[in-house]
A and B are shown apart, each in its own frame.
Chain A
Amino acid sequence: MAGLIQKTELMGEEIPWLSTLRKQGLEAYQKQGFPGAKTEAWKYTKPRALNADDYVVNTGKKQTDFPSKEKIEGKADVFEPLPEGYGIYFENGIFNPAASDLPQGVEVLPLIEAVMLRGEVKDRLGKLVDLERHPFAALNTYYLQEGVYIRIEKNVTLKKPLIIINHTAAGRENLFFNLRNLIVLEEGAAAGLIEYYHYSSEVKSRYFCNVVNEVFLEKNSALRHYKLQNEAFKAGHMALTIVEEKSGASYEGFCLQKGADIARNETRVLLTEEQARAEVNAAYVMNGWATLDTTTDIEHLAPCTFSEQLVKGVVGGDAKGVFQGKIRIAPHAVKTEGRQLHKALLLSDTAEIDAKPELEIFADDVKCSHGAASGELDEEQLFYMQSRGIGREEAKHLLIEAYLNDVISKIRDENIRRWITSYAHSSAGE
């Protein structure tokens, strides 16, 4: 009976500030407890299934052999080739040293090495996470070890994206692993980052992947962040990305969730200085009994900041889609714009959608809007296509593709767009 809190040996125990941080994580988690039905933030998404007591916390001791770069990328080429980029690999949540060569101006280190070698890590790590509000981030902090530190130097523009791939392989045990990434774009830097979670088809066990990304965007830097959550069908996936933006910085986020049994992808953006902007778009495509949750929390903390969110979902079977979107505008954040739109397509009578938009506006002279809509496939449109010889299932596919297209087309990079599209469509409407 081990549960989610287990005694483990982690690297870096001898570093006092790291030990303290881990301890804070443990205490914050214990204080909150596992989120239950009474926890407001977890009212719609009930992660009960993740509170199992047969997990084996993977800290790397058991991970001795790692697949090669070629093997990982070969496996990742399911529908469309993986976009070209600089690979950073994890196997069952453990850093795989098979990383790609990197160009000048970018540093990628396993997080624990960065903790030891890079003084600035201490000033950043854990600074954006409110442990008391995020039980899974608190857990992640308790187990803090695996992950990467990415730093893009001042005024460097990366031509190809960095691609973090976590591959979960077959095993007899139910693994629980925590990934923690610290990403810093220095002034004027620009980069693309892909996060890709996938699994080998032999995976039959349950597993729980718990991710926290802390992203610091310095003045005028720009990050394009794409995520594909394609976990195994019995997996749990919890992810929190927190982005802090300085003046003129821009964050462009897109997340497609299509795997896992229970998942939340939460994005919190802090627009702390003028002219900071964020686009947080997402799509989810689901069937079976899954619950997939997209949660956003955009804080406009300075005047003239801008945010935009478009989230679209396609829900079939007995699945449940959850969207919680918050826009907060601080009293002095005048001339700010925040927009949010959530739309969902229900493919069956038993599919469910829970959407909770929240606006907290304390400033005057702002432009803010939110909207939500859910609907079903249009029978007239289906019949029109069928009457031209197109099979009903194919017609549904075309309508679903069209439905998702406007959010996917927000991805500016063509290769990445094509890659994400192939995943979105592969699972739509089955």
Chain B
Amino acid sequence: MNKTPLLEIEDLHARVCDKEIIKGFSLTINEGEVHAIMGPNGAGKSTLSYVLCGKPGYEVTAGSIRFRGKNLLSMSPEERAREGVFLCMQYPVEIPGVPTATFLKHAVNAIRQHHCLPELDTMEFLKMVREEGKKLGIDAEMIKRPVNVGFSGGEKKRLETLQMSILKPALSILDEADSGLDIDALKIVAEGVNALRDGRRSMLVITHYQRLLNYIIPDFVHVFAEGHIVKSGDKNLALELEEKGYAEFVREK
């Protein structure tokens, strides 16, 4: 099979506030693949996702990241998003005063513009949001409210998923998309994610629980501890971890 690499991370080292968190992390994700990353609290999973998105304050000290062959590290956060990197955040940010619909419309049109597509007008945009929102149980009332303000934990995750469904990124990074979700919401979100799987789009799924991986079935599972991948396997590795925990991967303290 002819595989096209989408994301290539090589020997990445990164720090936050002078503290080295990512230490020699390497991973290649090909088009269409779903990779899961599991690992103990504080291992650096969220840090990795922020580094991929270019969050200020996350400093790469060594290594490289290529996205479709381009140097991702030289791009601004918005350029990365326009190129197709999307982070479904563990803690989505509240933006008082900015209606969700306005925010989404700006995002959609910024990305369309980047791909030389005509901007959507308000009618077209609302139609799309209504259709995608319906699948995720997000009603029109919710998108009139300011971004994430007063949303329950589950609603925030659904809104993240809605954004993913309408922005259709080439690479979706899901950082604990399952946290705070009840079983039904989990299924809904997973369906939203699966709907994007078309054999070309790729996912990087960060989770603590094997349960999510019953719905979003990964091609690879990696154990992330102390700043890098310590073990890789297929979906069965997740079951193994569920049973044994991370003891064997974490140094005695």
Contact = CB atoms under 8 A, between A and B. Distances in A.
Q: Are A and B part of the same complex?
A: yes
B110 A380 contact: no
Nearest to A380: B93
B92 interface: yes
A246 B244 CA distance: 80
Interface residues of A, number: 21
Interface string A382-422: 01111111111010001101110110000000000000000
B103 A398 contact: yes
A390 B106 contact: yes
Interface string B88-118: 0100111111100011001100110010000
Interface in A203-261: none
A417 to B, nearest CB: 16
Contact of A405 (B81, B97, B103, B163): B97
Interface string B54-88: 11100000000000000000001110111000110
A6 interface: no
A101 interface: no
A388 B97 contact: no
A398 B98 contact: yes
Nearest to B77: A386
Interface in B27-79: 53-56, 76-78
Interface in B152-201: 163, 167
A386 B98 contact: no
Which of A384, A389, A394 has its CB near the most chain B CB atoms (within 10 A)? A389
Nearest to B95: A381
Contact of B55 (A383, A394, A405): A383
A349 interface: no
Given A385-B103, A386-B77, A391 B97 contact: no
B21 to A, nearest CB: 18
Nearest to A383: B55
B111 A389 contact: yes
Contacts of A40: none
Contacts of B82: 389
Contact of A394 (B54, B110, B146, B163): B110
Given A383-B56, A385-B103, A390 B98 contact: no
A389 to B, nearest CB: 4
A384 B167 contact: no
Contact of A391 (B94, B103, B110): B110
Contacts of A399: 95, 97-98
Contacts of A65: none
A365 interface: no
A390 B103 CA distance: 9
| Across the A-B interface, the 7 shortest Cβ-Cβ residue pairs | A402-B97, A389-B81, A384-B93, A388-B107, A386-B77, A389-B110, A389-B111
Given A386-B78, A387-B54, A392-B78, 12 more contacts: A381-B94, A384-B89, A387-B53, A389-B82, A389-B111, A389-B167, A390-B106, A390-B107, A392-B76, A398-B102, A398-B103, A399-B98
30 contacts: A381-B94, A383-B55, A383-B77, A384-B93, A384-B95, A385-B103, A385-B106, A386-B76, A386-B77, A386-B81, A387-B55, A387-B80, A387-B81, A387-B86, A387-B89, A388-B103, A388-B163, A389-B78, A389-B81, A389-B82, A390-B78, A390-B103, A390-B106, A390-B110, A391-B110, A392-B78, A394-B106, A398-B103, A399-B98, A402-B146
